[in-house]
Amino acid sequence: MLPMRQYRLTLASAFILLLAALPASAQQKVLPLWPHATPEPAVTTDPEKDVTTDKDALFDGRRSARITNVTRPTMTIYPPTTVANSGAAALVFPGGAYFRLAWDGEGTDACTWLNSLGMTCLLVKYRVPQPQPPAVTPPAPGHYPPIYPADPSDLEDAQQAMRLARQHAAEWHIDPSRIGVVGFSAGANLAVLLSTHPDDTHVTITPAAPDVNSTIDARADFALVIYPAYLAIPPEMTTLNPIYTPNQFTPPTFLLQAENDRAYGKNAPLYYIALAAAGIRAELHMFPTGGHGFGLHPVGRPEEHWTQLAAAWLRDNSIIPPFIPTTRRGPNGAEGYSNPTAPCTNTQLPQPGRPDKTPPPPTDPACW
Domains and CATH numbers, the chain: 30-367 (3.40.50.1820)
pLDDT bucket at 331, cuts 50 / 70 / 90:
very low
Is pLDDT above 70 for 257?
A: yes
Dist. CA 359–CA 89, nearest whole Å: 26
Phi–psi pair at 229, nearest 5 degrees: -120, 160
Average pLDDT score, the chain: 83
Helix (H, G, I), strand (E, B) or coil at 327: strand
Sign of the Cα torsion 306, 311, 312, 314 reads positive
- The string of pLDDT tens digits covering residues 11-68 is 444 433 333 333 444 458 999 999 999 999 998 999 999 887 777 776 766 767 889 9
Encode pLDDT of 75-104 as tens digits: 999 999 999 999 999 999 999 999 999 999
- The structure's pTM equals 0.82
Asked whether 228 and 270 are in contact (CB, 8 A), the reply is: no
Query: Per-residue pLDDT tens for 298-325?
Result: 888 888 889 999 999 999 999 999 875 5
Distance CA 41, CA 18 (A): 42
Phi and psi of 337, rounded to 5°?
A: -130, 145
pLDDT higher than threshold 50 for residue 359: no
Instruction: Give 325's contacts (C-beta < 8 A, 6+ positions apart).
Output: 337, 338, 340
d(CA 82, CA 116): 7
Q: Could you write out the DSSP letters of every residue in 70-93?
A: B-S-EEEEE---SS---S-EEEEE
Q: Are 145 and 130 in contact (CB under 8 A)?
A: yes
**Sign of the torsion angle spanned by Cα atoms 148, 150, 153, 156:** positive
Does residue 106 have a pLDDT over 50?
yes
Flag whether pLDDT at 264 surpasses 60: yes
- Segment 208-234, tens digit of pLDDT: 999 999 999 999 999 999 999 999 998
Secondary structure (DSSP) of 189-247: HHHHHHHH-TT--GGGGSTTGGG--TTS----S-EEEES--S-BPTTT--SB-GGG---
Rg (CA), the chain: 21
pLDDT single digits (tens) 145-174 = 777 888 999 999 999 999 999 999 999 999
